[in-house]
Amino acid sequence: MPFDSHRIHDVPDDLLAAIDYCYEQGWTDGLPVIPPVVDRVQAMLAYEGRPPEAVIATHPATTLQLTVHAAAVNAVMAGCLPEYFPVLVAAFEAMDKPAFNFHGSTASTGGSAPLLIVSGPCADDIGMNADVNLFGPGNRANATIGRATRLILRNVFQMIPGISDKSTQGNPGKYSLCIAERARGNPWPLLCETQEYPEGVSSVTVFASGGFFNVENHGGNTPEQILGGVADSMANYGVITLGQSAVILAPEHMHIVAGAGWTRQDAQEFLFTHAKRSVEGMKSVGKHRDRDYNRQHGEGAHRLVEAGQMHRGMTPDDILITMGGGDAGGHSCFIPSWSRDRASILQHKPIGVCIDCN
C-alpha cells in the first residue's frame, strides 16, 4: 500500500510481529526496521522548528513531497536518535536543489547512492565517525542517517528497486553512505569553512555517487606519488567521464601531501591534470563522444585542459577532497559521480540553522 506517515496503524503489541508488519507493508530496505511508534516520532520532530506538515523536498517527476513528519517517521524506522534529525533534514534540502537532479540520480541504471559528508562540530556533537573504519559498520549515527536517506527515497518518493529504481547492478552504498569529515589533525580548512558558512555552523554535502575505489599506497612519500595513484584510479576507463569526484585522503596520505606545503587547490589541479585518457584510448573502449570532448575543450575551457586528452571533470573544482579515516594505513579512496553527463552536481546545506534557505 502507499506509504502514509500520518496514518496511525493498528499493529500487534508483540515487537517481532510489529517488525513483520513493517515488512508486509513494504517499508523496509530488506533489513528489519524499528516500528515508528508515536512517542519516538514526536521526539524526532522536537529537533525541527518547522511544523510537521512543512515540505522539505519535492520529487520533480512524480511531485511526491517529503514533509518533516514523513522524514521523522523514516528516521525512527532507520534507528536514528533525535539529535541526528537536523542532518537528515539538511541533506534532503540539499538534494532538493535542481542541480542535484533528484529524479535522475535515484532512477537511473547507473546505481547512484547519495553520499552524505557531514562537516563541522555537529559531527562530534552527535558522535559520528570520521576515523577508523570510516565507511564501514559500527557507528550508529553514520549508519542510521545514511539508512534513513534510503528509506525516505523508497517509502516517500517511491523509488522502488526494479520498478522506479532501475539500477543495473545497484551499489552497496544504497543501504547507507554517510560519513563525517575528520577535523582532528586536518591541515586544510574544513568543507563547511570553504562553503563560507559562519564560524561554528556545520554542513552536509550531498553527492550522487557511483562505486567505491580503494587507493592503496604504502610506499609513496611525495605528494606526486600519493596523488598519482589517486589520479590513476580517477582515469580508469570504466569511470572517466565529465562528472565530479570525491576523494577522501587517509591521514597518512594527507600528511604527506599537506606536509609538503600543498594546498587543497594544488591537489585538485594535480589530480585534474593527471586524471586523463587519450582520445585514441577512449575510442579503443568505445567511450569517446565528440560532444564530451568539445564540451571540455571548447570556449572557456580550463587552462589545464590538454589537447587530445579527456580529463575527469570539467575543472579542478569538480574534485572534492578532504580527510577521513584512521591514523594508520595508506588507504585513501576515490568515489566517482553517478552521471557521465554532469546531470548531477554536488550540493550542500547548513545543519540546523536557516542560512541560504532559498
Structural domains of the chain, count: 2
Rounded to the nearest 10°, the torsion over CA 275, 292, 301, 337 is -50
Residues 191 and 215 in one domain: no
Query: Helix, strand or coil for residue 130?
Result: coil
Does 254 have pLDDT greater than 70?
yes
Same domain, 237 and 150: no
Could you tell me if 46 and 177 lie in one domain? yes
pTM: 0.95
Alpha helices in the chain (DSSP H): 15-24, 38-45, 68-78, 85-95, 102-107, 121-125, 140-155, 191-194, 223-234, 251-259, 264-274, 279-284, 290-297
Q: Say how far apart CA 235 and CA 60 lie, in whole Å.
A: 33
209 falls in which pLDDT band (50, 70, 90)? very high
pLDDT above 60: residue 350 = yes
User: Is there a single domain that holds both residue 16 and residue 121?
Assistant: yes
Q: What is the pLDDT of residue 2?
A: 55
- The tens digit of pLDDT for each residue in 30-84 reads 999 999 999 999 999 999 989 999 999 999 888 999 999 999 999 999 999 999 9
> Any idea what the Cα angle at residue 220 is, between residues 218 and 225, rounded to 5°?
135
For the chain, what percentages of helix, strand and coil (3-state, to nearest 5) are there? 35, 15, 50
pLDDT, one tens digit per residue, over 142-177 is 999 999 999 999 999 999 988 988 889 988 999 999
Same domain (yes/no): 38, 172? yes
- According to the model, what pLDDT value does residue 353 have? 84
Grid coordinates representing 63 are: 511531485
- Is pLDDT of 1 > 50? no
The predicted pLDDT at position 50 comes to 94
CA atoms within 13 A on the CB side of 354: 5
Q: Does residue 356 surpass a pLDDT of 70?
A: no
Question: Do both 188 and 220 map to the same domain?
Answer: no
Residues 236 and 152 placed together within one structural domain of the fold: no
Burial of 295 (0-12, 13-18, 19+ CB in 10 A): middle
> How high does pLDDT run on average in the chain?
94
Question: Whose grid coordinates read 500487534?
Answer: 12
Whether the per-residue pLDDT at 13 is higher than 90: the answer is no
Rounded average pLDDT over 83-95: 98
Phi-psi label, residue 300: left if phi above 0, alpha if psi -120 to 50, beta otherwise = left
Q: Same structural domain for residues 194 and 229?
A: no
Range of the domain at 217: 211-336
Pick the more confident residue, 111 or 286: 286
In the chain, the percentage of residues whose pLDDT exceeds 70 is 96
Indicate if the pLDDT at residue 89 is higher than 80.
Answer: yes
Q: 222-240: per-residue pLDDT in tens? A: 999 999 999 999 999 999 9
The alpha carbon of residue 161 and the mean position of all alpha carbons in its chain are separated, in whole angstroms, by: 19
Lowest mean pLDDT among 11-25, 89-103, 204-218, 337-351: 11-25
Residue 355's pLDDT band, with cuts at 50, 70 and 90, is: low
Looking at the fold, whether 193 and 49 belong to one and the same domain comes out as yes
Q: Half-sphere exposure (CA, 13 Å, Cβ side) for 252?
A: 19
- Pair 217, 206 in one domain: no
Other beta carbons within 10 angstroms of residue 281's beta carbon come to 16
Burial of 54-81, coded b for 16+ CB within 10 Å and e otherwise, reads eebbebeeeebebbbbbbbbbbbbbbbb
In sign, the C-alpha dihedral spanning 30, 31, 37, 39 is: negative
Residues 294 and 163 in one domain: no
Quick check: 149 and 96 in contact, CB under 8 A?
no
- Check whether residue 203 and residue 121 sit in a common domain: yes
pLDDT of residue 341: 81
The cell for 356 is 541560504
